A and B are shown apart, each in its own frame.
Chain A
Amino acid sequence: MNLLLLFLRLETKRLWRDRTLPLAFLLMTVFLAVAVQSGRGFVRKERAIIASAQTEEKTRILGLKQQIAELTSGTATQQPSRGSDPRLPSNVGRLGQHWAVKPPVSVMGTLAAGRNDLYPPCLPVSNRGVETLFGIGEIENPQFLLTGRFDPVFVLVFLFPLFLLALGYNLLSEERENGTLALLRAQSVPLPAVLGAKTTARWLLFALPVAVFAPTLLLLAGLFGGDRITGDTIVRLVLVTVLTACYGAFWLALCAGVNALRKDSATNVATLVGIWLLLTLIVPGALQEGAGVLFPVPSRIALIEATRKNSMKTTQQGNALLARYYEDHPELAEAAQSKTIDPKDFSARRAAVAKSVEQIVEPLIVRHDTQLRRQQEFTTRFSWLSPVITFASALEELAGSGAERQQRFETQVKRFREQWQEFFLPRVFARMTISVRDIESLPRFTFEEEAEGMVQGRALGVAFPVVGLTLLLGAAAARLLERRD
């Protein structure tokens, strides 16, 4: 402990005097401030999209209600075409589309755009084919999607380790190159203790302050931005601190391990940067390629092909399908016969065809989703190959921009679409008309978040392998030094 305190004092003095520490703090502060600003910008844009979608829906629904009221009371000045008559349920299923919204997580959304910039924050649910529901992207210059965002997760995942490498590449090598290592050893200080103390000092001096500072900045940005701050937000922010501190410890342990190999400082830098490149860019890239080869996801092209092929086939059987539907739902057939509308009504036939096509292509969608899930499981299973992957995914999870939350949203939207269909299809088949009251009782989507404990638990779970790896690296470094001492 005394040794640690001594080195803490000495290292603080040294790193402060040669301006490494103030420079690192300054740069990190600037990077984090810019990143938080950029993250806030992204969340602001998401919120603006959601707000404009909700305003659009409100205006549209109001217009529909007004149109229905006018048509019903006979005060309408213009008669709508068949395709835009708001009294027909098949039209309202489309014209009354509802935006299913996935709101950004308060405060935490700033942390990472994650996969959120690939998907719009709201999806239009209507009676259009299920294949049209997904696969829509938010408008963005694809060049910038490729580049990625300068958000806090980028700073913490990619740049933070580089600062630690710059602080730790010469833990022992510099002492050796300056000739001070021999002096230290002459005082019978064991080398593993020197290395351990110097590493811990850097963790305490830089990694820990950054781990506390980054979430504090997020919190301040949230407070000034008027975000709602709850107990869960605070827990998530604390988790960011814990994870960042563990992640920092891993990189410093790596520095210690490389220093234990007793190479010169330049070789240490090259080795550490090589490892950084491997862990941050090459391993994730290789895992992604591997997942693609092992679990190829059937492309959406195949889904479109199958939908069209079956749509052609079933359209020819439209009347038969409609008849079969009425056999299955005699109550709707009776209701339909009592109407004066042509029994070969186009809307009902089209709805029957669409429903049949959906049933046929459902296995393809399931296969697509299963393969994608397998890819994700594969990459998660092998994510221990790089703590960078686990750390990044944990932060994205906490930010509400991870794959898990998106998957959850899409599953709920699919379920909601079924609810939407259940609302309209019986009305289509019963050849009913839509009233203002029907419009008021249209199903509405509310995104159900996963239990907070689950999200937090999963994120915290990442800390254990990182800590394990850190301890392992530390032990290996100590062993290596003892053996050569």
Chain B
Amino acid sequence: MLQAIAGKEFLQMARDGRFRVVTLLMLALLLLSLFAGARHHRSLRTERERAAQVQRDQWLTQGEKGPHAAAHFGVYAFKPSGSLALVDRGVNAYAGSMIWLEPHKQNSFRDAPAQDSTSLLRFGELTTAFVLQTALPLLIITLTFGAFAGERERGTLRLAAAQGVRMETLALGKALGIAGALGLLLVPAAICGAATLVLGGAVTRGSGSDLVPRTLLLALSYLLYFGITLFLSLAVSAWARTARLALLFLLGGWVAATLIAPRLVADAAKRLYPTPSSVAFAEKVKFELAGAGDAHNESDQRMERLKQETLKQYGVQDLKDLPVAFEGISLQAGEDWGYPVFDRNYNALDAQFSRQEAVCETAGYVLPFLSIRSLSAGLSGTDRRAHEHFARATEVYRRTLIRIINDDVKYHAKTGDTGYTNGRALYEKVPVFAYKPLTVSDLRDSFRMPLLALAAGFFTTAAVAVFSARKQRILP
């Protein structure tokens, strides 16, 4: 019986001209967004890889100079674009794309692409994720709203009941049939998506091993999301007196879930856990750094203590008698004094952002849109956590770079000798910045909650759909 109902529903939909038109339009939209994503991803990747190479060359060829001056020339780190960014660009447009790594301070990311775009960006980007998260549920709603209510109005539901069809079976059969019809859209789209990933140059050496589980998880998350929408629509269709009422209710729910609630939840999260202003943040860091000690200021009290400690350590009376250059020691000490300040403040900011996101993730239990958005961007490596991970990697690299430079001063220069210089030999000691993105297993903890929310939502809505179907009125 289940198979027969599913088959009938599938055939009915496939034969419906309106379904064919809407599905073709949706497919066109999906493909367009995929190709636009691939183009965007390719140009970003090419530009950033080239920029990283140019950067390295500039670092190596900056010429003979004082090592500290070379460190001040610094390096820029560019955020790489992950393969699945062509599906979901996540926060990429709003988070900075590069960071300057220099001595004495941990800079913030800058040059968010959104600043270099037109006002239209605030309407949203036409990405595959947007089509899947926002437009596709609308298609599901338009396919499903009349599933029970329409049959009831036409009187065919009474006929089915009279033939002894159990309403639970009918609900599951309809769900399977509609899901099958959706497959006509999603399967070709998924094949095109995979082809774009491979042919569009998004799959690179080394990305393959992690890409497969990421893609599979992404597909599973979206399937759960579509399932929730489908079961909810069926439940509403069973509950509503008329098809029109079902449609209005579902569309209202769609607007509330995808447009209104995310903004309200974001506002609530910001209100609960306010973000500090850039001025206040910079002031706090500056104030704390001032208390930490200034490596460039010989009259700084902490520097004076360092001098005494160094003299004691090497058993000499004068800095000039040191077997190492005190400048190297003091520069590194200045860095070491600053690290806890940066760590404390940037960690606090990250914690505040995480608390804000936790509010959204909790709301994801009742708003699947928030869960899928979080999962989709997370699996595509374009969420804030991925950005934060990259930021931390750049800071580790900055500290390594500065330590190599300061050690060179310490072990090769002489105290008080301001004329010491070095060149390429030193610069080559600084390793190339190689960023290793988070893997799926690293992300297990952060994905658990939204994935659980989606799975819970899927089974709950399935149960609700079956229950509503069983309890629905058979007569109009």
Chain A residues within CB distance 8 Å of chain B:
31, 34, 38, 41, 45, 48-49, 52-53, 56, 78-81, 83-84, 114-115, 118-120, 122, 134-150, 154, 158-159, 162, 166, 170, 265-266, 269-270, 273-274, 277, 280-282, 284-289, 291-293, 296-297, 299-301, 304-305, 308-309, 312, 316, 368, 372, 375-376, 379, 388-389, 392-393, 396, 402-403
Contact = CB atoms under 8 A, between A and B. Distances in A.
B80 to A, nearest CB: 13
B76 A304 contact: yes
B356 A288 contact: no
Contact of A277 (B73, B113, B116, B138): B138
23 contacts: A45-B277, A52-B280, A83-B296, A115-B122, A135-B96, A135-B110, A137-B94, A139-B275, A141-B270, A144-B266, A145-B94, A148-B122, A149-B267, A150-B264, A170-B244, A266-B146, A289-B36, A297-B116, A299-B113, A301-B78, A305-B58, A312-B58, A312-B63
A444 B114 CA distance: 29
Contacts of A122: 279
B283 A52 contact: yes
B38 to A, nearest CB: 12
Contact of B118 (A147, A291, A300): A291
Going nearest first, the 3 A-B pairs with the smallest beta carbon separation are A285-B126, A284-B123, A142-B91
Nearest to B297: A81
Interface in B89-113: 90-91, 93-98, 108, 110-113
Chain A contact residues, majority secondary structure: helix
A194 B96 CA distance: 55
Nearest to A174: B244
Contacts of A402: 119
A150 B267 contact: yes
B125 A285 contact: yes
B120 A159 contact: no
B337 to A, nearest CB: 16
B307 to A, nearest CB: 15
Interface residue range, chain B: 35 or more
A266 B247 contact: yes
B145 interface: yes
A139 B276 contact: yes
A49 B263 contact: no
A31 B260 CA distance: 9
Contacts of B264: 34, 150
B91 A145 contact: yes
Contacts of B263: 147-150, 154
B230 to A, nearest CB: 17
B403 to A, nearest CB: 21
B360 interface: yes
B58 A269 contact: no
A141 B119 contact: no
B49 to A, nearest CB: 11
Given A300-B111, A309-B54, 8 more contacts: A139-B349, A144-B269, A147-B263, A269-B244, A280-B123, A281-B134, A299-B116, A300-B110
A289 B118 contact: no
B118 A143 contact: no
B244 A288 contact: no
Contacts of A170: 244
A81 B294 contact: yes
B62 interface: yes
Contacts of B98: 300-301, 304
A150 B260 contact: yes
A114 B241 CA distance: 41
B414 interface: no
B309 interface: no
Contacts of A281: 123-124, 130, 134-135
Given A154-B263, A277-B135, A312-B63, A119 B115 contact: yes
Given A309-B58, A312-B61, A376 B119 contact: yes
B190 interface: no
A101 B117 CA distance: 22
B278 interface: yes
A119 B277 CA distance: 12
